[in-house]
Amino acid sequence: MPVALAVWSIKLVPGEVESIIPPADLKITNIALGDEIADEKARTSVRLVYQRPSARDGEDDEEEEDEDEDEDTEMEPVQTFLGSLTPGKIEQAIVDVILEKDEEILFEAVGKNVIFVTGNFIDQGGDDESEYDYDPDEDDYDLQDIPSDVEIDASELEVPSDDDADRFEEVEDEESTKDSKKRPRESDTMDTDEPKLSKSEKKKQNKKLKAESGKAVATGEEKPPAKEDKKEKKEKKKAEKAEKPAAKVIEKEGGLKIKDHKVGSGPQAKKGDKVSVRYIGKLTNGKEFDKNVSGKPFHFRLGKGEVIKGWDEGILGMHVGGERLITVPPAMGYGKGGSPPVIPSNATLIFEVKLIKIN
What's the distance, CA 280 to chain centroid? 5
DSSP 8-state class, residue 343: B
Rg over CA atoms, the chain: 30
Which residue of the set 334, 343, 356, 358 is catalytic? 334
Task: Please count the other Cβ atoms lying within 10 Å of the Cβ belonging to residue 276.
Answer: 22
Distance between CA 238 and CA 232 in Å, rounded?
10
Catalytic annotation, pick one of 107, 168, 298, 351: 351
343 is catalytic: no
- Cα–Cα distance measured from residue 96 to residue 351, given in angstroms and rounded to the nearest whole number: 27
Q: Is 334 a catalytic residue?
A: yes
Give the Cα separation of 217 and 173 in Å (integer). 28
Q: Answer yes or no: 134 catalytic.
A: no
The CA distance from 148 to 153, in Å, is 12
50, 162, 273, 289: the active-site residue: 289
CA distance 270 to 99: 27
Of the candidates 74, 73, 83, the residue with the CA atom closest to the CA atom of residue 51 = 74
Catalytic residue among 121, 141, 168, 279: 279
State the catalytic residue, choosing from 28, 280, 308, 356.
308
* Paired residues of 280 in beta bridges: 291, 352
Please indicate whether residue 351 is annotated as part of the active site: yes
What is the CA 209 to chain-centroid distance, rounded? 56
Taking each continuous run of H as one helix and of E as one strand, the counts in the chain are 7, 15
Q: Answer yes or no: 279 catalytic.
A: yes
What residues form DSSP beta bridges with 85?
Answer: 44
Looking at 115-211, which runs of residues are DSSP E strands? 115-123
For residue 147, the tally of other CB atoms under 10 A from its CB is 7
Amino acid identity, position 319 = H
Nearest CA-CA partner of 68 in 59, 78, 57: 59
132 part of the active site: no
The residue annotated as part of the active site, out of 20, 290, 298, 326, is 290
- Which positions are catalytic? 279, 289-290, 308, 334, 351
